[in-house]
Amino acid sequence: MCYTVSVYYTQAADSSAPAAVSLFSEGIVSAMRDARPVLGVVTSEQQGLEPMLWGLVPAWNKTLDEVWRRRMANATVERLQSSPAFAPSFMYRRGVVPVRSFFEWRHEGRKKIPYEIRRSDGQDLLLGAIWADNTWLDLRSFSLVTVPANPLMAHIHNSKQRMPLVLEPNEGLSNWLNGSPQQALMHAVPAADGILVAEPRNEGI
């Protein structure tokens, strides 16, 4: 699964930059470890990034339970249409989370070796997400969508063999944000070979 990413935001002069960069978590961000991990999410509603809490809190939740939030950091593609928590968001509120990289751990016996995964072309990764607008809590939140691992990620994430949904900045991105659920699912597949590169990290994550 994907519970740790690296993100870096800048306040640019143009109007497309987020108005309140200070609201976002920066650096290496963990959905499990950080008290309030807030990332920028691109939606079909507006240009630019909107800060949202990482860990989907559906519209019908009247309290913010941290155990629930962490459990909802990811949404498996296989349950997007069947889960009561995921289905409304998948139908009407799909988004994209731009990150520099994400981290996964390879299990070798009792050892866990962290790997950092990036795009091979050096561009930001565009991770598919679903989000929710909870008016009870005045809160917007999201889950990253995960898909079965491609060969690279199956080798690294050998315990679960999953990976985040990586969208390409073309028809795939457009259909994920604005297309029908059927069009979106056409692009909810593992990243093709060669799009991602990975390297082990020696320092703790």
The whole-number average pLDDT for the span 8-31 is: 71
Residues 156 and 70: their CA atoms lie apart, in Å, by 22
pLDDT > 90 in the chain, percent: 81
Domain holding 76, by residue range, is 4-200
- C-alpha Rg value of the chain to the nearest Å: 16
* CATH classification at residue 191: 3.90.1680.10
The whole-number average pLDDT for the span 144-162 is: 95
pLDDT in tens, 60-108: 999 999 999 999 999 999 999 999 999 999 999 999 999 999 999 999 9
pLDDT in tens, 106-138: 999 889 999 999 999 999 999 999 999 999 999
Strands (E), the chain: 4-7, 27-30, 38-43, 50-54, 74-76, 94-99, 101-108, 111-119, 125-134, 139-148, 162-164, 196-200
Strand partners, 111: 108
Q: Say yes or no to pLDDT of 202 above 90.
A: no
pLDDT given at position 48: 82
38 Cβ neighbours under 8 A, 6+ residues apart? 23, 24, 25, 51, 52, 53, 54
The whole-number average pLDDT for the span 178-196 is: 96
The structural domain count of the chain equals 1
* pLDDT band of 21, cuts 50, 70, 90: low
User: Has residue 154 been placed in a domain?
Assistant: yes
User: Has residue 115 been placed in a domain?
Assistant: yes
pLDDT given at position 196: 98
Report the greatest alpha carbon distance in the chain. Answer: 50
User: Has residue 72 been placed in a domain?
Assistant: yes
For 52, 70, 184, the CA distances from 137, given in Å and listed in that order, are 13, 17, 29
Can you read off the two tokens belonging to residue 75? Answer: 């949404």
User: Has residue 205 been placed in a domain?
Assistant: no
pTM value surpassing 0.75:
yes
